[in-house]
Amino acid sequence: MSGEGNPGGPGQNAGAPRPGPGDRDPGPSATLRSPRAWTVLVVAVLLSLGADLASKAAAFRWVAGRPVEVSRRQVLEQARVDPRHIGLLVPRHRPVVVVPGLLELTLVLNPGAVFGVGPGARWFFVGFTALALGFGVWMFARWTGPRDRLAHAALGMLIGGGLGNLYDRLVYACVRDFLHPLPRLEWPGQLRVFGGREVWPYVSNVADLLLLIGIGLLLVYLWRRDPAAVARAGPARASGG
């Protein structure tokens, strides 16, 4: 007579913890059924993609003092000769100093992946990016809950940044870069890292920046989620004997 036969009775799940505001709904498709989760993801993707493509277009229009048109045909021809020299298709120009010693803008054509890794392997990186985007959508559906806004925004940045560079690879056969942080800053003494003296020799773009921010936010999300998950699992194990 303690309410065992009544699904809504006070005796049901008496020892189980009540769902908190951060708990994920049961079932792998709970996030897929959440309009708010989709809104956060789609808005983050669109804002990230728009920021990346708009900043690339603006940089290649203004940084060199005149518009620089990137020709897919010329890029492919140069790639057949030596993909490392694709940058010769960009006219020589003075970098635009945004913050002295901290950030400059200079135009670079990148035939590889993030930070110029793997020049000449364009189709490999196209396929890899497509798989990574699919994995991001899978993580959204299976790895996050409807209320995990931080994770949804982070995944949106990752997907939007990936789409921005994928667009460049498909349209221009290379990636347009223009952000050069810490220009000409060298390691102290005679220290060399990977054979170079510069602390940050890479020129990147907004998509790369969004990828780094998205990864950082996902790490913060995991750090905040795991203690809460452990705390909720303790009472559940105790109630199960």
Choice among 52, 148, 168, 177 that is catalytic: 177
Helix (H, G, I), strand (E, B) or coil at 179: strand
pTM surpassing 0.95? no
Cβ(139)–Cβ(156) under 8 Å?
Answer: no
Choice among 52, 148, 168, 208 that is catalytic: 208
| 208: annotated active-site residue | yes
Closest by CA to 132, choosing from 109, 161, 172, 152, is 161
Which residue is associated with the tokens 């890029």?
75
In DSSP terms, which residues pair with 177 in a beta bridge? 108
Cβ(63)–Cβ(96) under 8 Å?
Answer: yes
**H or E element, residue 177:** strand 175-181
Q: What residue spans define the domains of the chain?
A: 31-233
For residue 76, give Cα distances in angstroms to 84, 86, 109, 169, 211.
12, 9, 12, 11, 26
| 82: annotated active-site residue | no
Structure tokens at 106: 């200079």
Q: Quote the distance between the C-alpha of residue 46 and its chain's center.
A: 13
Closest by CA to 60, choosing from 157, 212, 172, is 172
Residue pLDDT tens, the chain, 241 long: 444 444 444 444 444 444 444 444 444 568 888 999 999 999 999 999 999 999 999 999 999 999 999 999 999 898 888 877 888 899 999 999 999 999 999 999 988 654 444 445 556 667 777 888 888 888 898 889 999 999 999 999 999 999 999 999 889 988 999 999 999 888 887 787 766 788 888 899 999 999 999 999 999 998 887 665 545 444 444 444 4
